Chains A and B, each alone.
Chain A
Amino acid sequence: MSNENTHKHAHAHDHHDDKPTGFLNRWLFTTNHKDIGTLYLILALVMFFVGGAMAMIIRAELFMPGLQLVEPDFFNQMTTMHALIMVFGAVMPAWVGFANWMIPMMIGAPDMALPRLNNWSFWILPFAFTMLASTLFMDSGGPAAGWTLYPPLSLQGGQSFAFVVFSIHMMGISSIMGAINVIATILNMRAPGMGLLRMPLFVWTWLITAFLLIAVMPVLAGAVTMLLTDHFFATSFFNAAGGGDPVMFQHIFWFFGHPEVYILILPAFGVVSEIIPTFARKPLFGYSAMVYATASIAFLSFIVWAHHMFTVGMPLTGELFFMYATMLIAIPTGVKVFNWVSTMWKGSMTFETPMLFAIGFVVLFTIGGLSGLMLAIASVDLQYHDTYFVVAHFHYVLVPGSVFALMAGTYYWLPKWTGHMYSEKWGKIHFWLSAISVNILFFPQHYLGLAGMPRRIPDYSTQFADFNMISSIGGFIFGASQLIFLGVIIHCVYKSRVKAPGRVWEGAKGLEWTLSSPPPYHSFNTPPVIDSTTVAHAEGTH
């Protein structure tokens, strides 16, 4: 009977069961979650290389002490744009791309809940990033005050400033609409039997991420709006002469900023929690603990923001509160790491590329978590703040953290998406080169920071020369290794002849593996039957 119904709709409705024909129909006007997911992923990959090129310029300038390649102001434009592009252009859209591709398949839905809105969420972004990137070609150059846009420095940005503000507004609109879609999809489109505590962890982490996005993107919008009016319309939000306070900007920015870093990492937790059970051939250890840990991290992320501001001058009680609250986050984070390790414990493990990246994630992300704990100690952060130690910290959580998880997820689901296997050999080469070089790149930065090298400076004292050169060499190897990633993807999409089965990985559980590879255009036209063999986490079994 369900077939009959679907057909009726198909006729009433431009054959929405078939793939649309023609380039514009397929990509520009699409309402299909997989096509939109692909668009997001392509945008993210392009931005990853654009932002990466900027990182190469930064590391090239820092290869040796003294000013060699670029003007100091251009250097600052590079650090600012690198961060903005990587955070808003690469990692966030990449996760939305994953959400688009995977969530409907994982919960047994035909598509996202609001498919047209989905199209708009994506198609705002190319315009927003074109506008952001165009600032580099203006007389004033691009923004150079750091991605945190602190006033009064950011207000001196000349012509580019307003363009940056408005492009951030557009990214915010896109993110909020995308997050609304994810929440509506997860809460409303689950197939019967897919109870909340049966959902794959990737779905859970995205549900919570979406909540964070809707809660804090408007806060960022408000912050940059106040910057704009302070600059152009004589308001005094961040101007002490008028009774405002530049420190207030920092509070508002980090009220957005700290949840934002969890927006970048929570979906990574989800992906890793999908991959490790598959290749350890064991159910995830402590499934519900993982869910609760994610929720507590999200909750805590709203009350720790001022750990970015220990040095600006805060009342002592403030310093103490934010220090202890920040340290609390280590508990749910520790629970997660413990559970990943326990899942692998006594598992029959194999080490395909996704698993390698996932294990790399667990080990290296933890290093970043530990340096975070050091930074959380208010009294010593006075020394670490605004040094390369902070740079090392956040790059450990973001590169071998979020970015490794993105790569793990790409290798894990690429055969599902394309219907072809990627080259395992080149995948492994990509992993080992990345894993080794990322440590050469970022580990020395801890020492540089502890020895006092400030961040966002194009030149440095000669005592820092050796470690900077090592770091730059690591950076160039890491950068070059990512071309392999590009090669593997292109090969898998266009060249690979090895057909992927529906259940690509023998140990994989979950609804997405019950579909063919590549899956049908509308994942589930009728709700699938759900029982403990098709879901990874059957309620009450752990």
Chain B
Amino acid sequence: MSHHASDSYYVPHGTRWPIIGSLGLITMMSSAAFWVNNSEVAPWTFLAGVLILIVMLFGWFGEVIRESESGLYNAQVDQSFRMGMMWFIFSEVMFFAVFFGALFYARMFAVPWLGGEGTGALTNDLLWQGYSATWPTAGPAELGGEFQTIPAFGVPFINTLILLSSGLTVTLAHHALKMDNRPRLIFWLLATVFLGFFFVYLQISEYKEAYQHLGLTLGSGIYGSTFFMLTGFHGMHVTLGAIMLTVIAVRSMRGHFKPENHFGFEAVAWYWHFVDVVWLGLFIFVYVY
């Protein structure tokens, strides 16, 4: 059993950032709701909410970083941060699990049933006569019209290689940090940031291709829904991860992190590996099969 209680505890003083964060969050969320209800000012208030949140994040993390760099934190605080990050990533895993679950359910149950399999025989006969289950599909009503899919072994495969190598570069950066080799640390971090944003760039060009030439949109039935929601949320996470890596790179340039103590770096690296693993799932189940 591990006890990290030192002889005295650390408790941070009061803070204004959370309430600012809440104001940002409610501004953003309520604006989003007005926005989908066709309000014209909502996009702007949404933006304002996002900006408040960004300011909050910089302010809050900035304060924590200053405290950390001035040596206020003990091993116990470090451990709490680690646990926080680990469980946060677990919650993200569950979030992606839902969309993967939807994909599997659609492919294994919903679509075959519509095609008349098992107890779906009558459904097929009475409601969707003539529909036979295939994948990919836009459903028996072919919502969104005809479409083509993005072949796995084109850009998606390149993107797989990019993310895999970015996992490698971030590990090399970690080794460099442990060896106290700053220039190497910064070099490999910047390489990772580059790979991350390059992935996002390729992904966006794939989306353009899908919308402009393949007829594949979010509205392309269940295939389009699962395809864009899974890859879309993943892409958002890659973008976020790449921004976090950028922050870490800037901090490394400013001399932050010590070879034996660099939680901020590790947290971002964990997150990056998580994003990486999700992509492997995506590549296999969305693109290849």
Contacts and interface: CB of A to CB of B under 8 A. Distances in A.
Interface in A112-131: 113-117, 119-120, 123-124, 127-128, 130-131
B212 interface: no
A315 B8 contact: no
B48 interface: no
Contact of A235 (B3, B37, B80, B218): B218
B105 A245 contact: yes
A137 B17 CA distance: 31
A348 interface: no
Query: Dominant SS at the A interface?
Result: helix
B70 to A, nearest CB: 9
Interface in B6-43: 7-19, 21-23, 25-26, 29-30, 32-33, 36-37
Contacts of B223: 243
A115 B87 contact: no
A234 B13 contact: no
A162 B92 CA distance: 22
B26 to A, nearest CB: 4
Interface string B44-65: 0000000000000000100000
A101 to B, nearest CB: 16
Interface in A200-259: 214-219, 221-223, 225-226, 228-237, 239-245, 248, 251-252, 255
A195 B12 CA distance: 26
Q: Say which size band chain B's interface belongs to.
A: 35 or more
A509 B141 CA distance: 66
Interface string A138-181: 00000000000000000000010011011101100100100111
Contacts of B263: none
Contacts of B164: none
Contact of A226 (B9, B11, B102): B102
A29 B14 contact: yes
Interface string B129-151: 00000000111110110000000
Contact of B18 (A123, A181, A223, A245): A123
B221 interface: yes
Contacts of A315: 118-119
Contacts of B3: 190-192
Interface string A387-430: 00000000000000000000000000000000000000000000
A111 B223 CA distance: 48
Contacts of B224: 235-236
Nearest to A117: B84
A225 B143 CA distance: 20
B157 interface: no
Contact of B91 (A176, A195, A236, A524): A176
Interface in B212-246: 217-219, 221-226, 228-229
B90 A214 contact: yes
B168 interface: no
B47 to A, nearest CB: 16
Nearest to B134: A243
B126 interface: no
User: Most chain-B Cβ atoms within 10 A of its Cβ — which of A114, A165, A185, A235?
Assistant: A235
Given A16-B12, A243-B110, A234 B17 contact: no
A353 interface: no
B1 A195 contact: yes
A192 B144 contact: no
Interface string A1-32: 11001100100111010001000010011110
Interface string B93-126: 0110111011001100111011000110000000
A5 B139 contact: no
A362 B96 CA distance: 39
Given A119-B18, A123-B22, A242-B225, A234 B98 contact: no
B88 interface: yes
Contact of B84 (A16, A180, A228, A242): A180
Contacts of B22: 120, 123-124, 127
Given A191-B5, A218-B91, A236-B222, A162 B11 contact: no
Contact of A313 (B88, B119, B229): B119
A131 B29 contact: yes
A526 interface: yes
B15 A239 contact: no
Interface string B171-199: 00000000000000000000000000000
A183 interface: yes
A348 to B, nearest CB: 34
A188 interface: yes
Nearest to B60: A116
Contacts of B81: 114
B110 A248 contact: yes
A527 interface: yes
Contacts of B87: 179-180, 183-184, 214
B11 A31 contact: yes
A196 interface: yes
Nearest to B85: A180
A236 B143 contact: yes
A243 B30 contact: no
B48 to A, nearest CB: 15
Contacts of B225: 226, 229-230, 235-237, 242, 244
B208 interface: no
Contacts of A185: 80
Contacts of A187: 83
B83 to A, nearest CB: 4
Contact of A243 (B11, B15, B18, B221): B221
A109 B18 CA distance: 23
Interface string B75-89: 010011101100110
B9 A110 contact: yes
Nearest to B222: A243
A534 interface: no
Interface string A511-542: 00000000000101111000000000000000
Given A165-B33, A234-B219, A189 B5 contact: yes
B4 interface: yes
A222 B98 contact: yes
Interface string A359-375: 00000000000000000
Given A237-B222, A251-B105, A9 B84 contact: no
B145 to A, nearest CB: 12
Nearest to B94: A218
B72 interface: yes
Nearest to B135: A243
Nearest to B131: A243
Nearest to B30: A131
A196 B3 CA distance: 11
A29 B111 CA distance: 52
Nearest to A134: B30
Contacts of B110: 240, 243-245, 248
Contacts of A248: 102, 105-106, 109-110
11 contacts: A119-B19, A218-B92, A221-B95, A228-B36, A234-B218, A236-B219, A242-B138, A243-B137, A244-B106, A248-B105, A252-B101
Given A214-B94, A242-B144, 18 more contacts: A14-B14, A28-B16, A28-B19, A29-B18, A111-B11, A114-B80, A127-B25, A163-B30, A166-B30, A170-B29, A179-B87, A184-B83, A188-B79, A215-B90, A222-B102, A237-B222, A237-B225, A243-B222
A-B CB proximity, top 7 nearest = A222-B98, A243-B139, A234-B219, A120-B18, A243-B222, A242-B139, A235-B225
